[in-house]
Structure 1
Amino acid sequence: MSEAPPPYEAAMDPERTTTGPKAPSAAPGPHGYETESAANGILSLQIKQNENVLYYISHYNEVNTPDIILFADYNHKGPRLAQASFNPPGKDFKFYIGGIKSPTGDDWDIVRDYTLVDERDDEVVAVFVEHFSLEINGTMTFRRELDAKAEMSALMAQVGSIKLPRDTINDITAPNVYLPRPMSRYRSFSGALIDPEKQRRGSEDSIDAHDYLSSSQPMLGQGAARAPTYAYHLPRRRFSRYFTLAISAIIGFFIWYLVRASLSSRAAVELGIGRPAAPPPAWEGFPFLKRYHGGIRTLVSREDDTPEYPVAEDVEVQRLVDAAMEQKKKADAVTSKEKGFNKKREIPEVKEQVAFPLPHRFDPYPKYGVEGDRKGFAPPVKCYVDAKEKREVPQLLAFNGTTKGFPDPVMGSYDLLGLRKDVCFERHGRLGPYGFGYSKKFGGSGAGMDGDREGAEHVWGDELEIDYRNVKWAEVQDKCEKDNAHRFKAPPKQRLNHFFTSMASGGPVEEKQTSKRAEEEPKVQESTELLNRTVVLIRTWDSFEYDAEDMFYLRALVNELSIQSGTEYVVHFLVHVKDNDAQIWADDETYQRVLEKALPAEFKGMGTLWSERQMGLIYGGLAESNYRDLQVHGAYRSTYMPVQYFAHMHPEYDFIWHWEMDVRYTGHFYHLFQKVSQWAKQQPRKGLWERNGRFYVPAEHGSWEDFRHMVRIQTEHGTASKENIYGKLASDAGVKNPMDVASHSHETPVWGPLRPSGEGDTTADPDNDPQPPTVFDKDNYEWGVGEEADFITFNPLFDPHKTNWILAEDVTGYNTTEGYPPRRTAIITASRLSHRLLETMHRETTLQRHTMFSEMWPGSCALHHGYKAVYAPHPVYIDRAWPTSYLAAVFNNGRNGATGGARTSVFSDERQHNFLGTTWYYHAGFPANLWKRWLGYKVDNDGGEEWELANEGRMCLPAMLLHPIKQVDLIVEHLEGEPV
């Protein structure tokens, strides 16, 4: 296709040719658009937008009056007017219209509805031409191929100041032509009223009169010099403009998105957001053990039973395969479940009816006499809960044997501690004597009235149930203690009562009366052997809400430890008053009122109040470190602070059991406390601290003698050698935090006091610390045998050094510039402490300004002073079938096979999840589930009363410690009118 002709440059008649200077290159046109010179008849392009696209193509004379205006009004979205021109006089009128080229490229697209207007004087002549196309040769051919030519033969126009004559356009041959009458005013397509006369006059008035009157300059030259210039504006390309804007917007948005995503990604990395979830722990893939929930109808003797766990290694592998296949079968059963007539009829399994076994009374108390356990000791005087009626709480009921397939403990041992493992306890025989299983109107709890109750009548036999609404345990215990005073050592003289610093037993008033009575009534000692006095401190607080399940627990503690033993243990409540502004030290009456409100009515008078502000006054001068934003005198960081002061104010107690409200024991408390104390007393000191730092796994370690020998090898020779069979680590240990060479090298066993080595660090009364009678190698495991333990714990005493235990650095008052003092930690504060240890802790805190975090302070203090500390490996169960080799490696994964001393310790914060399935740890989940199932309730949609009745009956558990047990909501019977 040929190119569109350039703007026509007029070949003016020589007689009419205009001379003079060229017009300015850029002058504003009448409509405010920049144009180029209008000389030589060049038309300028004007564009205006209304509802429709509107184009003006105008030619202006020397006085800025438009001579020819071409309006283009159309709705087509594509065409654009590019340029137009006309011939000077004597030539055919031509003008070129640009638009969208046709696909063939030969001619221009159709443009419609054009109006050609000639403005002359007062008149406007309009010619409407519809549907024409314009070829390159200048011939105007109508669309319908009429081959007509529009000529302006009479056009006599002079460029410049001469206007077009009135009859300029009078011979136009074309279809659809309309010639309107002359008019002086008209409306544009935008709706505005146009007055050509005003436009013309306004333009003429703007011309300087000197330009008209001057004869020294030709007229046309003046016009040419004064005429404004108009340009051929390129037509606006709407599509191009919008397309460019859209692309720019997209690019801008993309850039903004990239910048924002980069900033968000950086913030997410810093905060750990979006980080892929860590894979589940390996133990979550082990199958659950199922025989914990066996019923009493499946009881078998311990000798004839085959425990479900632990088992041999080949059986463990097969168990994992079977568990995987069973899970697959369940999944297949869900997806391919048969329906309709093809559904198989499920035939219920007929269970063999087994006769209900008979229970027996469980009596763990020692026998006195010549052939008894306690030769030379005076037998206890029997005590009653009601002195007038001579009523006593019946002994617990136990069943011989264990439920079929019941697992063995994975850590600890019954035989080692002397605990009985040939009996088990179900809920009625264990809790029935304390109000479980009978109505509130008879003084019971109203719980346990439904479900499997077969054999529950054996609890009371022919006796009536005890109405615990009338029992006052403080009076019962005081009378029992008085009746059995001859069996114990004479109490030392009590310290003076300083009132606000008093740790009164039952309150200041009661303490004064007791002291006076003790002086007036000297005890007659009738036996040669005397017992030590022991108190059991139950930690609680003033706003604690006691429910029926808590009452079973407290009644069992008081009755089994104190009343039935002849007060070998005195039960006491250590009540924390959380409100530091409470005026409990204002007078005796206020103290008694707060104390009575803090405890149930049954235990009125058995408590001792304390507050953190009181500890701040007594142990003033401690460096206030605010470790983890907690005060050093707070109950969390200094749990033993009120205990050590209680021991200081009550020197009559040789030992103090520190007990918690969320501990449960399925067996007999006296049996547990006695056996643990006796075993700890027989432990030799040689290698004791090293054995204290390890879990005992009988399935892997063998007998206790084998375990003791293994510990000595690991300690004295280390585990760096590949040939050392005790140096294996768990498969997941040491990957991210490999142990250094020092963690495998040999250690120096603890032998005697291990004091702090920091500059300026001294201990209280170091001359009174026990010293070993000989060197380590010459001792034949004799030193310490028969010596009462100063500290007994139920978890290993691990070394927090180099572990990631989050509280390892909570050390106050020691010089830590070059390192921390030797430390030992036992998680869970349930323990037994001697008066010697507590008094030393008290003096360290008051005189040396030393203390540590609660679970680290007693063990560390015993280590510094050479006292005897013992970890009692009580039976601990686990809910899944861990391979025992893997379990032993994970739990003893510290330095040289210990539990602590390295980052890979199981007590490091990121590894404590391994305890979740055990029965004894501060955040374990298994104890609460097992306890609730044992009580007959449904847990995770398993168990419950209906299940027990339809299957093996209620659960029967051997004696086991459970922690934590919190907020057990029992279903209880309510009396008429009683609020629910």
Structure 2
Amino acid sequence: MPFRIPKRKDKGAGYTALDGRWVDGDKERLSDDDDASESGNATPMLRRASGAREATSYPLPRRRFTRYFTLIIVLILLGLGLTLARLSALSEASLRSGLSKPPPPPPTWESFPFLKRYHGGIRTLVSRAENKPEFPDPENNTLESTVQKDQEKQTAPSEDKGFQKRHVPQGQTFNPVKQDGIIECFLNEEKKSNVPQLLAYSGVPKGFPDPVMGSYDIFGLNGDVCFDRFGRLGPYGLGYSKRWGGSGAGMDGEREGADQVWGGKTEIDYREVNWAQAQQKCAQKNKNRFKPLPKARNHFFTDMPVGGPEDKPKREEKQEKKLLARQAVVIRTWQDFQYDDEDMFYLRALVNELSLQSGGEYTVHFLVHVKDNDLPIWSDDFTYQRVLNDSLPLEFRGMGTLWSERQMSLIYGGIAETNYRGLPIHGAYRSTNMPLSYFAHMHPEYDFFWHWEMDIRYTGHFYHLFDKVGKWSDQQPRKGLWERNGRFYIPSEHGSWDDFKHMVRVQTEHGTAHKSGMYEKISGNDNTQVRSQPPIWGPQPPTGEGDRTETENDPQPPTTPDKDNYSWGVGEQADFITFNPLFDPHATNWILAEDVTGYNTSAGFPPRRTAIITASRLSHRLLETMHRETALMRHSMFSEMWPGSCALHHGLKAVYAPHPVYIDRRWPTSYLAAVFNNGLHGASGGARTSVFSDERQHNFLGTSWYYHAGFPGNLWKRWLGYKVDGDGGEMEEVEGEGRMCLPGMLLHPVKHVDLIYEHREGE
């Protein structure tokens, strides 16, 4: 029998076990699941082999946690990237819009130390000649020396510790009115009662600063006397009880010498005073001192008579004596103004010092704004008088005139409504001079009108100020006048007034290296940076196509500027007197420079001049010119720009009176002069760098005369004996140098003075 070799199985279907058996792989795989739990059917060897195989195998780890963790990280990174991209876009957008600019650094002047001797007391008085003013200090006239001196002063021992308390000196009556030909006027003709003269003290407190701008001497103002609160305001109700007709304020605190001002007289009961009646009787008693009254105008726009008022032809009559001009003091107020006792001190002083004590040289009026245009004040006399009476304190009734914006739109109709900055052209803000111009038109008996405000205060005698400023202005020559008007006079830097005039002439004739704007040098011609500026000589009418003005009555120069020896204008009464420079708003960043209505501005604006703060003296000629320009030519400008610009166009005489202005910090005067006269060719205006540009007006905050200054109100309240920012008050006066004593200082603004009153039983 032949030898048979067994046929091999496919290697892929099985394998030879260690004991020599052939194991079918397919059957094993099929039986793995069924036999896994049946340990009895498995051989020990197979169980050991299976165990060996399990011991040497490596299963893959779980991946679910890793995947989730990775996904979270990716999402976080993606969100962070998107957030950073969004923040970057927002930051770029805010930078472009200017919203996220870093705050600007504080102004340089905020690093200057405060002056302390404004608060000096009445027990330390010395004459001006003997006084060593705390400021200006010629030895410390740079930024570095100012800061260094302040540091030395803080570390040095105080000089006040050696102060020896003295008694209050004897005051003296202060009456600046020349009594020649004046018939005495009284508050009450039957009782022959009048207000006592102010009480002044010789000298100023030791170390009292000098004015940084302006001067007493050039006007002839007496700067070597000072006034405490009782000597200045005592005659008008401060310091005595309400039961005697006073205010009831100033009853407590330091009162040594407070009653000197009365000189033994009885206090005035202001509950019985009628100022309108007293003012009228005073003017009537002294009428021979003044020019004859012209025919009064009636209110023909409401009376509707046949025709209008006729003006009598003027007759030239020879007068043996020079007759005085009548002047009106027009106080701008409004219907619902709340008059407190401190306001009453101010108003009583104005009427008494300007009208009664002068023998009727001035007449005080209230120009009352009725803000409700729907109030029927023109319906009948009863309604008009009722509203007027309700608008003024009882003692001032009979001295007011009502006006409304609707009335102005009737009188000055046809003027274009430009709605500049969202405000109406006939509104009180943009056209303050409209009611004043119409008031002057209806009152031809007055030659001059003092435009005054409710938040002005003067620590001296009002007649002294008005009279000296008016007479000085009338003596100013026309040559170089507009150029001097545009600059601050800083005596510590400019020297005497004659030195200042010479400096202005040189700057005008030869120019300076000052650029009027940041782009001026683009022309590439450096020679244009130093050039002369033609002086203003005669009228400067607008040159826009179609612009018309009435020029037949405009004053003309008698000769050319080079032939005039500073004689034209001397003795000529000023048409416009301001208490801030008349600056050129061209090229400045003054926000209201373009509030010009009725002129052709396609090729540029007409010549303009602006004086911040409307307080001023205006002639009847100027106000009548403004009235006709607005009513007939439809011309107007912003309130603080219109009078000066109108005077410039028509060649009228305008004067900036550099009255004494004080500042609350130790500015280096060279730096101060550079800041305040930083306009074109050394002027205060005419360039973007002007101190009147909006971004630079913060430099006025510490001065005693500017519309938003903080120093005037603080100084006035300290002078009244109250604490301000934790300083001053009763104890400081009693234990220290006594009450503050200030020379004549014109302050603006002074608002919301809260007086402290006596406590009365039952209150």
Contact 2:585 2:608 in 1 (8 A): yes
SS of equivalent residue, structure 1 residue 675: helix
2:623 corresponds to 1:838: yes
What does the per-residue CA deviation read over 1:592-632, in whole Å, with 9 as the maximum and x for residues that have no partner? Answer: 11111111111011110001111011101011000000111
Aligned residue type for 2:534? T
Aligned residue type for 1:380? I
For 1:501 and 1:654, the matched residues in 2 are separated by 26
Deviation at residue 322 of structure 1 after TM alignment: 2.8
SS of equivalent residue, structure 2 residue 281: helix
* Aligned residue in 2 for 1:781: 566
* Aligned residue in 2 for 1:859: 644
2:147 corresponds to 1:320: yes
SS of equivalent residue, structure 2 residue 65: helix
SS of equivalent residue, structure 1 residue 617: helix
Contact 1:761 1:814 in 2 (8 A): yes
SS of equivalent residue, structure 2 residue 562: coil
For 2:521 and 2:759, the matched residues in 1 are separated by 60
SS of equivalent residue, structure 2 residue 201: strand
Change (3 A) 1:818 1:640: same
* Aligned residue in 2 for 1:56: none
Q: In structure 1, which of residues 915, 922, 926 is the aligned counterpart of residue 707 of structure 2? A: 922
Pairing 1:549-698 to 2, within 5 Å after superposition: 549-698=342-491
Aligned residue type for 1:354? R
Aligned residue type for 1:640? N
* Aligned residue in 2 for 1:715: 508
Change (3 A) 1:257 1:361: same
Change (3 A) 1:815 1:250: same
Deviation at residue 252 of structure 1 after TM alignment: 2.3
Contact 1:737 1:903 in 2 (8 A): no
Contact 1:10 1:87 in 2 (8 A): no
What does the per-residue CA deviation read over 1:888-937, in whole Å, with 9 as the maximum and x for residues that have no partner? Answer: 11111111000011111110111111111110001111111111110111
Which is greater in Rg? Answer: 1
Pairing 1:195-210 to 2, within 5 Å after superposition: none
Deviation at residue 265 of structure 1 after TM alignment: 0.8
Change (3 A) 1:91 1:661: closer
For 2:705 and 2:666, the matched residues in 1 are separated by 17
2:297 corresponds to 1:495: yes
Query: Larger helix proportion, structure 1 or 2?
Result: 2
2:77 corresponds to 1:139: no
Change (3 A) 1:634 1:352: same
2:685 corresponds to 1:885: no
Q: In structure 1, which of residues 264, 269, 288 is the aligned counterpart of residue 95 of structure 2? A: 269
Deviation at residue 665 of structure 1 after TM alignment: 0.3
Q: In structure 1, which of residues 941, 948, 959 is the aligned counterpart of residue 726 of structure 2? A: 941
Contact 1:879 1:918 in 2 (8 A): yes
**Structure 1: unaligned runs, 5 residues or longer:** 1-8, 15-85, 95-116, 128-134, 150-232, 331-345, 369-378, 503-514, 721-726
* Aligned residue in 2 for 1:289: 115
Deviation at residue 743 of structure 1 after TM alignment: 6.0
Change (3 A) 1:273 1:837: same
Contact 2:489 2:658 in 1 (8 A): yes
Contact 2:146 2:668 in 1 (8 A): no
2:629 corresponds to 1:802: no
Change (3 A) 1:137 1:465: farther
Q: In structure 2, which of residues 531, 543, 560 is the aligned counterpart of residue 757 of structure 1? A: 543
For 1:347 and 1:713, the matched residues in 2 are separated by 45
* Aligned residue in 1 for 2:81: 255
**Structure 2: unaligned runs, 5 residues or longer:** 1-9, 16-23, 40-46
* Aligned residue in 2 for 1:41: none
Deviation at residue 499 of structure 1 after TM alignment: 5.9
Change (3 A) 1:329 1:295: closer
Q: In structure 2, which of residues 172, 195, 199 is the aligned counterpart of residue 360 of structure 1? A: 172
Deviation at residue 757 of structure 1 after TM alignment: 0.6
* Aligned residue in 2 for 1:89: 27
For 1:252 and 1:931, the matched residues in 2 are separated by 64
2:178 corresponds to 1:240: no
SS of equivalent residue, structure 1 residue 536: strand
Contact 1:412 1:874 in 2 (8 A): yes
- Pick which of 444-453 and 267-276 moved more: 267-276
Contact 1:744 1:895 in 2 (8 A): no
Deviation at residue 736 of structure 1 after TM alignment: 10
SS of equivalent residue, structure 1 residue 308: coil
Deviation at residue 284 of structure 1 after TM alignment: 1.3
RMSD of the alignment, in Å? 3.1
* Aligned residue in 2 for 1:485: 287
For 2:48 and 2:338, the matched residues in 1 are separated by 103
Aligned residue type for 2:603? E
Change (3 A) 1:242 1:355: same
Aligned residue type for 1:429? G
* Aligned residue in 1 for 2:250: 448
Deviation at residue 387 of structure 1 after TM alignment: 1.4
SS of equivalent residue, structure 1 residue 88: helix
TM-score, structure 2 length as denominator? 0.90
SS of equivalent residue, structure 2 residue 563: coil
Identity %: 65
Flag the structure with more relative contact order, 1 or 2, with Cα contacts below 8 A and sequence separation at least 6.
2
Q: In structure 2, which of residues 723, 739, 742 is the aligned counterpart of residue 954 of structure 1? A: 739
TM-score, structure 1 length as denominator? 0.70
Residues matched between the structures, number? 724
Aligned residue type for 1:898? A
Aligned residue type for 1:685? R
Contact 1:537 1:657 in 2 (8 A): yes
Deviation at residue 744 of structure 1 after TM alignment: 4.0
For 1:879 and 1:736, the matched residues in 2 are separated by 35
SS of equivalent residue, structure 1 residue 943: coil
For 1:739 and 1:554, the matched residues in 2 are separated by 55
Deviation at residue 279 of structure 1 after TM alignment: 1.4
What does the per-residue CA deviation read over 1:168-218, in whole Å, with 9 as the maximum and x for residues that have no partner? Answer: xxxxxxxxxxxxxxxxxxxxxxxxxxxxxxxxxxxxxxxxxxxxxxxxxxx
For 1:481 and 1:938, the matched residues in 2 are separated by 42
SS of equivalent residue, structure 1 residue 538: strand
For 1:404 and 1:314, the matched residues in 2 are separated by 19
Pairing 1:311-390 to 2, within 5 Å after superposition: 311-314=137-140, 318-326=145-153, 349=161, 351-368=163-180, 379-390=181-192
Contact 1:919 1:927 in 2 (8 A): yes
Deviation at residue 734 of structure 1 after TM alignment: 8.1
SS of equivalent residue, structure 1 residue 414: coil
Contact 1:739 1:902 in 2 (8 A): no
For 2:701 and 2:680, the matched residues in 1 are separated by 23
